């Protein structure tokens, strides 16, 4: 009995501590004036457009703390494509929303780490910048393409109105005529035939693939340095998927942007990415060049993901899928989160969570 009560009161204390942490983070974030010294920083490597360093984003819920992103670090070099892959729920979207500072407070908070952005005026840590600064960057220097374009396009305005608005916001000096010309150029750039017609159309009059093209056009209209594409083709059928990816790749080279491509589909990554980051339960379990990951994967989870992807010319009776489920995000074990699903699991896996290791024998 006594034990039970002491566990209960310990839980209560823990809960109080968490609420206090959540409140203090929220207060710090919403301060009116944030001194520059709090967010001016240095890049580790000036060739990177973004450096994510030990990022932790938690949700403080009534039933406990969800460590959605739990110590994630990776770099995005300028002009390159970095793919983040992993099963649903592993923290991919929360990572991208942390970069954009779109995590819903007060329950959602970035609790630790840095997101260093190599801006024109010098490196800044996005975790600490004032929201007003972030609003300047969003949809301007850093653009995001979401999974479902219908939810991001406004149904009551024409496609043209919406692209015009995006362009006008970032180029207040242009005349209405110049803006329209630019919008039509954008529609052309994303491969829309008959752009003048589509300019006057409403979103619901377009197919899913066309809408996604429009979204990409809007995201690119301001010539961003970094494009974050969160499952940009998941809602589309396979042939359209390939076209959209091809389009993203072409455009990236035209505007010399970097892409953060988020997907649960390793097949999508093969053609697109220079670097691959594999996430599992809020952590990175493997990262490397795309060639490393495809030719010489090291982690059993990565190998499992690769095996669960259909291959052309390979006859299989049944697609492989990794058995078991991701552990409950509240109360994660202190040992490897993949242990109970892993074919290679052995005694040391039950010990304290391991750190990432560099393998010297990876394919170059
Ligand atoms: N608003 C929220 N409140 C509590 N938990 C959340 C919230 N949003 C996301 N999560 C949790 O964070 C984890 C990561 O989610 P997410 O990044 O969306 O995964 P995905 O890799 O599929 O994009 C999941 O366990 C999810 O349940
Ligand atoms: Mg997601």
Q: Among the listed ranges 111-125, 155-169, 247-261, which one has the minimum average pLDDT value?
A: 247-261
Q: Say yes or no: CB of residue 90 within 6 Å of ligand 1.
A: yes
Helix (H) or strand (E) holding 23: helix 2-29
pLDDT at residue 361 is higher than 60: no
Report the pLDDT value the prediction gives residue 141, as an integer from 0 to 100. Answer: 92
Residue 308, ligand 1, Cβ within 6 A: no
77 within 8 A of 205, measured Cβ to Cβ: no
Question: Rounded to the nearest 5 degrees, what angle is found at the Cα of 270, between the Cα atoms of 357 and 87?
Answer: 65
Question: Ligand 1 centroid to 326 CA: how many Å?
Answer: 12
Domain 1-130+263-364 top-level CATH class = alpha beta
User: Percent of the chain at pLDDT above 90?
Assistant: 52
The mean per-residue pLDDT over the stretch 212-239 comes to 85
What ligand 1 atom has the least distance to the C-alpha of 326? 25
C-beta of 160 in contact with ligand 1 (< 6 A)? no
How far separated are the first and last CA of the chain, in Å rounded? Answer: 60
Comparing 98-112, 226-240, 319-333, which segment has the lowest mean pLDDT? 319-333
| Whole-number pLDDT of residue 363 | 46
Q: State the residue for tokens 């058995």.
A: 323
Domain boundaries, the chain: 1-130+263-364
Residue 310, pLDDT score: 66
In this predicted model, what pLDDT tens digit does every residue of 2-19 receive, in sequence order? Answer: 567 777 777 888 889 999
Q: What is the pLDDT of residues 32-82, one digit of tens each?
A: 899 999 999 999 999 999 999 999 999 999 989 999 999 999 999 999 999
CA 67 to ligand 1 centroid distance, Å: 9
- The pLDDT of residue 319: 60
Average pLDDT (116-143) is: 94
- Measured from the Cβ of residue 244, the count of other Cβ atoms closer than 10 Å reads 23
Return the residue matching tokens 């010399």: 256
Transcribe 166-217 into DSSP letters: HHHHH-TTS-HHHHHHHHHHHHHHTT-SSHHHHHTS-GGGS-HHHHHHHHHH
Residue 57, φ and ψ in degrees, nearest 5: -125, 120
Whether the per-residue pLDDT at 331 is higher than 90: the answer is: no
Q: Does 150 score more than 80 pLDDT?
A: no
Nearest in space to 187 (alpha carbons), one of 164, 165, 214 = 214
Question: From atom 18 of ligand 1, which residue's Cα is the shortest distance away?
Answer: 93
- Mind listing the pLDDT tens digit for each residue in 260-312? 999 888 877 887 899 999 999 999 999 999 999 998 999 999 998 888 776 65
User: Which-ligand-closest: CA of 58?
Assistant: 1
Banded pLDDT at 314 (limits 50, 70, 90) = low
Q: How far is it, in rounded angstroms, from Cα 130 to Cα 127?
A: 9
Distance 41 CA to ligand 1 centre (A): 29
Count other Cβ atoms within 10 Å, centred on residue 51: 22
Task: Judge if pTM exceeds 0.85.
Answer: yes
As a whole number of angstroms, the distance between CA 304 and CA 278 comes to 12
Q: What is the pLDDT of residue 364?
A: 44
């Amino acid at each position: 009995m006594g034990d039970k009560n002491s566990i209960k009161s310990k839980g209560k204390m823990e809960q109080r501590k968490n609420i206090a942490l959540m409140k203090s983070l929220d207060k710090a974030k919403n301060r009116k004036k944030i001194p520059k010294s709090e967010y001016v920083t240095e890049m580790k490597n000036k060739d990177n457009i973004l450096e994510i360093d030990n990022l932790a984003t938690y949700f403080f819920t009534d039933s406990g703390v969800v460590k959605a992103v739990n110590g994630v670090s990776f770099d995005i070099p300028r002009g390159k494509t970095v793919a983040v892959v992993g099963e649903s729920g592993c923290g991919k979207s929360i990572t991208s929303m942390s970069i954009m500072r779109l995590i819903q407070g007060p329950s959602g908070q970035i609790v630790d780490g840095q997101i260093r952005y190599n801006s024109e005026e010098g490196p800044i840590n996005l975790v600490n910048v004032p929201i007003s600064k972030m609003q300047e960057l969003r949809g301007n220097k850093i653009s995001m393409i979401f999974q479902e374009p219908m939810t991001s396009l406004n149904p009551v305005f024409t496609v043209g109105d919406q692209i015009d608005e995006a362009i006008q916001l970032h180029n207040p000096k242009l005349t209405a005529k110049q803006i329209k010309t630019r919008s039509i150029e954008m529609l052309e750039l994303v491969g829309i035939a008959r752009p003048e017609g589509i300019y006057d159309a409403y979103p619901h009059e377009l197919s899913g693939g066309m809408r996604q093209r429009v979204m990409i056009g809007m995201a690119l209209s301001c010539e961003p340095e970094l494009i974050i594409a969160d499952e940009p083709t998941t809602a589309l059928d396979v042939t359209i998927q390939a076209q959209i990816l091809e389009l993203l790749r072409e455009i990236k080279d035209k505007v010399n942007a970097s892409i953060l491509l988020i997907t649960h589909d390793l097949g999508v990554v093969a053609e697109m990415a220079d670097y691959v980051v594999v996430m599992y339960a809020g952590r990175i379990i493997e990262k490397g060049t795309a060639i490393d990951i495809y030719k010489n994967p090291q982690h059993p989870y990565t190998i499992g993901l690769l095996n669960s992807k259909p291959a052309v010319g390979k006859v299989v009776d049944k697609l492989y899928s990794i058995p078991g489920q991701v552990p409950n995000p509240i109360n994660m074990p202190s040992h490897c989160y993949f242990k109970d699903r892993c074919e290679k699991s052995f005694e040391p896996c039950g010990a304290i969570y391991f750190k990432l290791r560099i393998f010297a024998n990876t394919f170059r």
